[in-house]
Amino acid sequence: MGNTLPRILLTGFDPFGGETVNPSWEAARALHGRRIGGHRVVARQMPTQFAASLRLLRAALRETTPAIVLGVGQAGGRTQLSLERVAINLQDARIPDNAGAQPIDEPVIAGAPAAYFSTLPLKAMLAALHEAGVPTGISHTAGTYVCNHLAYAMLHWSARKRGVRAGFIHIPWLPAQAASRHGAASMALEEMVRGLEIALRVAAVTPHDIRRGAGAIA
């Protein structure tokens, strides 16, 4: 019966920037195979590489034919789960990726729109996460590194698929990663997993988002 359920493609990244762990993959793989909101989660690890991540994403999309696509990435220094509202068609890497590539001022997909908005019910997800006591906010920038790169590609793909919803969530460092960074924010893996499960359940069962203020003043 599980194989007949619609699928959620959930992606995380391998470690980068000298780290030995990436909480995005640890959280994603913890949910692999789980049934959430009438869907089955299929987790896939993506390389922190501009070119290779696109190839692996496309292969995963063909393999899973998902109804929902959610990318997860590490954003060290953030204090909460960040529900990303927009991905932009720009690569501008401050550091090289894991393959040594460092694109500057280049499009993710040449000739494609300048940006895409998430098609997940972000405000409903935010409300549910707050009710559950999970620190969460709406973010209006996914950066210009590999996370934004993959988020944009997911949204570009889903824009051509009727009924498919896609989006991206950034998560903080794990406590072990933050321990050597004085005053750095972190979140326990169990809390990240719980938050992602709540977010996915809301995404799976909420056809229309709620109206709730979550914008930014500056």
Per-chain mean pLDDT for the chain:
96
Distances (CA, A) of 152 to 19, 35, 112, 187: 24, 26, 10, 26
pLDDT above 50 (res 113): yes
The DSSP symbol for 78 reads -
Residue 121 reports pLDDT greater than 90:
yes
What pLDDT was estimated at residue 218? 67
Which range (21-25, 122-126, 182-186, 202-206) has the least confidence?
182-186
Regarding beta strands 81-84 and 136-139, do their DSSP bridges make them parallel or antiparallel, or are they unpaired?
Answer: parallel
Average pLDDT over residues 193-209: 97
What is the per-residue pLDDT for 1?
45
**pLDDT at residue 141 in the model:** 95
Q: Which of 122, 152, 129 is nearest to 215 (CA)?
A: 122
Residue 195 pLDDT:
98
| Catalytic residue numbers, as ranges | 84, 147, 170
148 vs 214, which has greater pLDDT? 148
Measured from the Cβ of residue 33, the count of other Cβ atoms closer than 10 Å reads: 10
